[in-house]
Structure 1
Amino acid sequence: MRILVIGPSWVGDMMMSHSLYQVLKQRDPDCVIDVMAPNWCRPLLARMPEVNQAIAMPIGHGSFALGERYRLGKSLRNRYDQAIILPNSLKSAFIPLFAKIAQRRGWKGESRYFLLNDLRNNKQDYPLMVQRYTALAFDKSAVPTADQLPIPYPYLQVDSAQIAKTKAKFEQQTALAEHRPIIGFCPGAEFGPAKRWPHYHYAKLAELLIAQGYQIHIFGSGKDDAVAEQIRNSLPTALQRYCINLAGQTQLEEAIDLISCCTAVVSNDSGLMHIAAALQRPLVALYGPTSPQYTPPLSDKVEIIRLIDGGLIKVRKGNDSTEGYHQSLIDIQPELVVGKLTALLS
């Protein structure tokens, strides 16, 4: 069985899709799984041994580009027996159709009744995103209930030689931190400050951890460099040497290598949070308006802190501070995080 998976476009969602690939391989060890995804996903897919290859999705996330989808689908004809479409969008279902893949499986989404011939419409029976992904490994008549569904945790393979090479690249930046054990911070959030723990709380947490003998490495994209610098500059000058800002300086594969070396990680709800969980790093995950009820980090080494109840609150910029932070995250005090972190590490 050759399977084409149309993958998601976000880091966290791509990490959760790994549970599906594992179940597919468990059910049919000889199946070949190719995943079509944006190029930036390649470092993740390359570290998932169940994936045969990543196929670049050249069309941007918001672009319909029907002609390009037709050409791409046509180029994939006679290669696959089954397609599994993970996004819910209408446009994500066109390429398998144009590729003339016999079985096209996915959840009911944007009016795509005629594009999928193995359509699932009981999404409400599977409240977690990872459950919805993994359920697609099963024939429609044989899908286990949510409580019986196997959910193998996502993981990422790392290579010691590659880790050493990555560490050497950043050795000059980290030399002043005196080889202390590392706590990783992931303060970024794709959809704005309302999902971020305040920078001044991160700074206070860094100060408390540095006093305990740790150094801090801050990870993120180039968009997170400003908040990383806010954290670092909020520390007393004498302590700033122990807080290294790597946001925007690492490729995704390098961030994976460096996060794998962390003693523990503290993160907002973000893609890097899911990567830290997949690397089995002790993780304190901080939630505010977003909710762990749908996309929690999948690991046995996680402490989730959320001080409010209920599901997702759709805000992009909070009204509770001049920086746009949400009150539910402002209320999470650094001392609480230190306590949860200490319990994890003990």
Structure 2
Amino acid sequence: MSRGPDVCLIRFSSIGDIVLTTAFLRQVHTQLPGARVVYITKREFADLLRYNPYVDHLIVYDSDSGLRGLNQLADDLKDTTFDFIFDLHNNQRSHYLTHRLKYRKIRRIHKSRLTRALLVYTKLNLYRSTPSIPERYLKTGHDAGIKDDGLGLELYWPPETEQTLASRLLDEAPLLALAPGAGFYTKMWPLDYWKKLIPDLLEHHPHHLALIGGKNETERFNELVLDDRVINLAGQLPLLQSAALIQRSAALICNDSGVMHMAAAVQTPMVAIFGSTTRHLGFFPFRARVEIVENNHQWCRPCSHVGRASCPLDHFNCMRALTPDHVHRALNRLLGA
């Protein structure tokens, strides 16, 4: 086979955003015969792509290295002229890096910043449609002939990932995965509501409940260990072990977070709770089996495109109106209970 095009994909962060690139990554690799795909991302998220068969060369960037690190990346790639660069981040860092790379064509994701700002700050909705983020990534590939293959997101890991996970769980009890965390306060369903939901789940379902999240959430989630059928794994699982646990679970209950997109990638049904963010922003689960729980009557949604550290109006009704009963009924619909 003759050598295909040299392609570079750039998405530095974060968990969900990188997982959302995996459909486009597959489409690029399979639709450009012989393509050699380089993917540039931050070191802390590299495992999400490390075992992906559509990445030929994974380049990790240490954000602590700043401009020096970006210059080193560019120097390492100085002998490559990319046929296509797909900048799926489109921020100052990606612009700086691509300014130093050699390429024939470059396409960047269009973020509709003005339309988004008008919706968030004035509630004027000028979106004519609500394409998902993976569909917006796909648009960057139109000039290269990349088309939607109709498939979803993907994650890959080596066999030892599941073996290590199995040793942590000790038994084969059926699981429900719970992810009470998120990157911002206004995207987190109140912890008190989780405390009310968990006893109901234990009473009406035979599953064990596995709490997953980051190291900064371990202590907070200890408050949710209300029974010996609840295990707090927050901070204990690397990214791919978390994905393997979600895949093994009957369902996931989560907020709008990176874990939500991981569930879509491993095709686990989920209940996704949305507070300050809405469908228009593009981050609803992509081609997933999902029950969305949200307060569609709250006029101030969305108050941010990523989330806030506090409710700007001090009522947090976008989340507080969503009772544990709402979430439990959504799970029952999902499981056919």
**Fold shared per TM-score above 0.5:** yes
Q: Residues 2, 87 of structure 1: CA spacing in aligned structure 2 closer, same or farther, 3 A cutoff?
A: same
Matched residues in 1 for 2:88 and 2:243: separation? 24
Report whether the alignment pairs 1:194 with 2:186. yes
Q: RCO greater where, 1 or 2, for CA within 8 Å and sep 6 or more?
A: 2
Find the counterpart in structure 1 of residue 166 from structure 2. Answer: 167
Q: Deviations over 1:272-328 (max 9, x none)?
A: 11101111111000001111332111133111111125752123212687xxx8222
Gaps of at least 5 residues in structure 2 are: 113-126
Q: Which runs of 5+ in 1 are unaligned?
A: 111-122
Trace 1:287-326 onto structure 2 (pairs within 5 A). 287-293=274-280, 294-308=282-296, 312-314=302-304, 315-318=308-311, 326=316
Distance, in Å, in 1 between the alignment partners of 2:22 and 2:146 is 18
| Mapped pair 1:210 → 2:202 | yes
CA distance in 2, matches of 1:268, 1:279: 17
Instruction: Give, in angstroms, the shift of residue 128 of structure 1.
Output: 2.9
**Matches of 2:287 and 2:154, distance apart in 1:** 9
Structure 1's 88 and 339: CA in aligned 2 closer, same or farther, altered over 3 A? same
Report the number of matched residues. 310
**Matched-pair contact (CA < 8 Å) for 2:49–2:55:** yes
Q: 1:223 is matched with which residue?
A: 216
Q: Give the TM-score, by structure 1 length.
A: 0.81
SS at structure 1 position matched to 2:201: helix
Quickly say closer, same or farther: Cα 1:230–1:297, change in 2 above 3 A.
same
Q: Is the 8 A contact 1:209 1:215 kept in 2?
A: no
Matched position secondary structure for 2:261 = helix
The structural deviation recorded for 1:156 is 1.6
Aligned equivalent of 1:38 = 42
Q: 1:48 aligns with which of 30, 52, 60?
A: 52
TM-score, normalisation: structure 2: 0.83
Give the aligned partner of residue 259 of structure 2. Answer: 272
Separation (CA, whole Å) in 2 of partners of 1:96 and 1:15: 22
* Residue type at the aligned position of 2:14: W
For 1:1-346, what aligned pairs fall within 5 Å after superposition? Answer: 1-60=5-64, 65-79=66-80, 80-107=82-109, 127-139=131-143, 152-158=151-157, 162-171=161-170, 179-191=172-184, 193-211=185-203, 212-232=205-225, 235=226, 240-293=227-280, 294-308=282-296, 312-314=302-304, 315-318=308-311, 326-346=316-336
Report deviation, 1:24: 1.0
Q: Which amino acid aligns with 1:220?
A: G
Aligned-residue identity in percent: 23
Quick check: 2:186–2:309 contact (8 Å CA) kept in 1? yes
The residue number in structure 2 matching 1:120 is none
